[in-house]
Each structure stands twice: as C-alpha cells, then as structure tokens.
Structure 1
Amino acid sequence: MKILIADDDPQILRALRITLRARGYEILVATDGVSALNQAIEHKPDLYLVDLGMPHLDGVELIQGLRGWTTAPVLVLSGRTGSADKVEALDAGADDYVTKPFGVDELLARIRALTRRAAGGTDAEPLVRIGDVTVDLTATTVTRDGNPPEAVRLTPTEWRILEVLVRNAGRLVTRQTLLSDIWGSEHITDTGYLRLYLSQLRKKLEPDPAAPRYLLTEPGMGYRFDPAGGGKAPTGGGDGPAG
C-alpha cells in the first residue's frame, strides 16, 4: 500500500516515514502542497496524510485539488484544534482528522479504518481528452488545443454534470442519479434539465455535436462518457425524447 505524507515539518516526516515503513507501507513524502500534488498525479497513492499549514498550496487547497480526480482516503494530521479548521478540511474532502500530537497506535488504526472503507474505489485520470479538448479534473479547467490553448467556459452546472460522467468513465450514469446529485431528489423526474445541459456540453466539447462520440445517451436510462470516443450515438444525435 502506497501512502503520501505531505508535511513541511522534517521531524514529523522522518518519524512517520520510519514508523510506516516498518509496518510494510510504501512511503512518499512532500514538503509543500505543489510537490504533493505533482507526486499524487505521478504515483497515485492509495492514501494521503496531509498537514494543513504547508507552503505554496496549503492542506485545504491540496485536498481540493486531489478531490478533483481521486477518491483515495485523505487523513489530515494537524496541530490546528479549532472546530472551524476541522470543518473546512472535511468539507474540502478529507475523510478524517487527527490532531497533533497523536499516538502511533491511533494513527495506524485510523489508516486501517480508512483503507477498509476505500476498498474497491477507483480513481479517474486527472487529465481527460475529449477530441481536441482537455479536461483537467484537478484544476477544474477545460481547454481546447491551440497556440495558445483556448479556455472553454462551462457553467458550474455543466461542470458538475461533466465531472460525474468523467469520474464514471465507461459506466452508465442514470438520469435519476444525475438529477438527484446535482438538483436534489425532488427533481428526479425533470429530465428536460439534462437534455438541455447535455446538448450544451456537446456543443462546447464534442468534435461533431450532432453525432456525439464521447458524451453518449443510453436511451431510456441515462448517459455515459466513452473515453475512447468510439461510442455510437442514437439516431438524431442522442438527445431525442429518450434522452
């Protein structure tokens, strides 16, 4: 199991590296948020131990960047004891919070618990291609190839729909799931919302919006993101009444 420790305190890094390696874990270390994010993208750790007070990117910003593309557990290790700090970290996507100083036995137990809960989880690639468009799940940006690259502007709702589909690449996402996740359970019958937003996303992202290859409709069921771009859309471009 691979663990990335992000902390700017060299003594903490050294102690955790020795302790966790002795338990059989493979350890990566970073002393600032930018380095941690780069290592995360390159090595795809199974679990993250994150301090909040780091340079360049602080712990909360790092967690937000990670949550754009990975579901791997994040355990915050911080000397900040205030409830506001804990709430901010958990809202950003952390799974658990341990206050420094902490006991080794407690830390190991928290790691085991998070590992059990995360069993079976999968990560999306942080950079996804849709034709000549790049979707960056970490930076939450969309750009079209060019010199220089051109920013593709999505509304917050368009981004949320795209993110759900990309994170479930190759799998059917039902209309009810999308409507419930984005607008709330009271809107699970409002399929017109999805037809409108999928149509707009295709206009912005698909090489040929009338014959989508990536953002596909599964008639009567929902939508699917095909990362290979080889999907066949239903007749009429995939946004007919069944969409």
Structure 2
Amino acid sequence: MLVEDDQEVGRLIAMTLKANQYQFEWAKTGQEALDNQQLFQPAVILLDLGLPDFDGVEVIEKIRQEQLTPIIVISARSDETDKITALDKGADDYLIKPFSINEMLARVRVALRRKAYLENTHDEQRVYRNGSLKIDFFSRTAYLAKRQLNLTETTYNLLCLFADNTAKVLTHGFLMRTLWPDKPLNDTTSLRVAIAALRKELEPEQQSPKFIKTHIGVGYSFIQN
C-alpha cells in the first residue's frame, strides 16, 4: 500500500510499482490508510509522514497495535529525531525524499523477503540462514561457515534480535529497552560493548562489515546477504 498525499510524488511511485508488477492501493490520508490496512491486508506499506488529517507516526502506532506489516517511511523529514521517532514507533525502514526509485524498490524487496521469512518459521524448530551465518534456535548455537561462534548470553540474544529483524534499523532505544530494560536508555555502554563483541565474532574484516551496519546517531541494522 502507498500512503502519499502529494499527487506528483504519488504518481511517480505508483508508475514505478506498476512497471514492476506490484499490485497496490493508494491512500491519500491517514484514515484511508488505516481503512485500507483492514480491508486489503497489504504485504508492505510505503508511508509518508506529512498527511493532511493526522501525522504518519500516528498511523504507524495504530497499525502496530494490530499488525506487523512492514512499514517503509518515505518522508522529506531529514531530522535525526524524526527518523528515530518513526523507527521507535514501529517503522521498519526510513527513506528521505528525494530518494532513488531503485533504492525504494530494493527496500521493498528486502521487506518482502523478511516478511516471507517470518511467516515460514516455526518457533524453536527454525534455523536462520544469512549468507555463511547459521543460527540454530533450538540448540542456541550459531555458526559462521563451519566455525561455531563463541557467544555469551548477551551477544547471543543480540544476534537473535538482529536475525529476527534482518534489514530493519533498530534504534539504540529499542535495543536498550529489549536487552537491558533496567538501565537508562542513554546509558549505551553495555550496548556498545555487546556490539563490539558480536562484531569480533562475525566480522573477520571489520573495515568491510558484512553483517552489522551502523546508522550513526540512530542505531544498527543487520545486513541481508
């Protein structure tokens, strides 16, 4: 579903989606987006934040009360605070206008792959694979190629959190609330230490990371290989 009130921008995105054989509904207000979400159950939502009736962040909050549909924000708001707020409220990705149409399509494909993965996993029986990385959730072990990773409880939990949110930007606040709920959100020392330890196991060449991408001032994402 496309949620965009700007006719010119909306037409460009709509033409691109049609040219790439995507079926979609186009909502021009927040309320129309919420109605379409219930009626059509879209696979992915492309969401502008500056809607005429209410803010797109409110749309994210309302959808997240009931659905885990991937939400890619497409907004002219480039301030870091806006990006963090949208991601913390449940957006999966954030594209700043103007953006490359090819990049938008790539983000849509990643969101669809992640959705398909989550829909086809089965609790403790599932095995996660991403390039040379394998996580066996039943035995709580992880391997890079054939080498078993030496992970603490914290770094294993961090790795699983990344795996369940592959390609999604996870903010510092989200990671802190999930892994260290008793610590202040601005006390990110534990997070930095855990990220460094996990990178040491995952990234033989840390100058060219293949798994953990840093989003400066925002958080981290796990790269789909």
**TM-score, structure 1 length as denominator?**
0.48
Aligned to 1:58: 55
Q: In the aligned structure 1, how far is the partner of 2:9 from the partner of 2:24? A: 13
Q: In the aligned structure 2, how far is the partner of 1:20 from the partner of 1:90? A: 24
Out of 14, 25, 28, the residue aligned to residue 11 of structure 2 is 14
Given that 1:51 and 1:59 are in contact with CA atoms closer than 8 Å, whether structure 2 keeps it comes out as yes
Alignment gaps of 5+ in structure 1: 123-180, 186-243
1:57 Cα deviation (Å)?
2.4
Q: Does 1:31 pair with 2:31? A: no
1:54 Cα deviation (Å)?
0.4
Taking the TM superposition and a 5 Å limit, the aligned residue runs for 1:185-196 are none
1:114 Cα deviation (Å)?
1.2
Aligned to 1:218: none
Per-residue CA distance 1:169-218 (angstroms, 9 max, x = gap): xxxxxxxxxxxx8x969xxxxxxxxxxxxxxxxxxxxxxxxxxxxxxxxx
What SS does structure 2 have at the residue aligned with 1:71? Answer: coil
Which stretches of structure 1, 4 residues or longer, exceed 3 Å deviation after superposition?
none
Aligned to 2:98: 101
Per-residue CA distance 1:35-91 (angstroms, 9 max, x = gap): 110011011000000001102221100011111111111000000000000011001
Q: Structure 1: which amino acid aligns with 2:82?
A: D
Q: In the aligned structure 2, how far is the partner of 1:34 from the partner of 1:71? A: 18
Q: In the aligned structure 1, how far is the partner of 2:118 from the partner of 2:7? A: 31
Alignment gaps of 5+ in structure 2: 120-177, 183-225
What SS does structure 1 have at the residue aligned with 2:114? Answer: helix
Q: In the aligned structure 2, how far is the partner of 1:38 from the partner of 1:44? A: 10
Given that 1:32 and 1:58 are in contact with CA atoms closer than 8 Å, whether structure 2 keeps it comes out as no
Q: Does 1:67 pair with 2:50? A: no
**TM-score, structure 2 length as denominator?**
0.52
Taking the TM superposition and a 5 Å limit, the aligned residue runs for 1:191-202 are none
Given that 1:72 and 1:121 are in contact with CA atoms closer than 8 Å, whether structure 2 keeps it comes out as no
Q: Cα 1:121–1:43, aligned 2, differ >3 Å: closer, same or farther?
A: farther
1:17 Cα deviation (Å)?
0.8
CA RMSD of aligned residues (A): 2.2
Taking the TM superposition and a 5 Å limit, the aligned residue runs for 1:30-179 are 30-121=27-118
Aligned to 1:134: none
Given that 1:50 and 1:75 are in contact with CA atoms closer than 8 Å, whether structure 2 keeps it comes out as yes
Aligned to 2:145: none
Q: In the aligned structure 1, how far is the partner of 2:118 from the partner of 2:103? A: 24
Query: Does 1 or 2 have the higher relative contact order (CA < 8 Å, sep 6+)?
Result: 2
Given that 1:71 and 1:121 are in contact with CA atoms closer than 8 Å, whether structure 2 keeps it comes out as no
Q: In the aligned structure 1, how far is the partner of 2:8 from the partner of 2:105? A: 18
Task: Considering fraction of residues, name the structure with more helix.
Answer: 2
Q: Greater Rg, structure 1 or structure 2?
A: 1
Q: In the aligned structure 2, how far is the partner of 1:50 from the partner of 1:65? A: 13
What SS does structure 2 have at the residue aligned with 1:56? Answer: coil
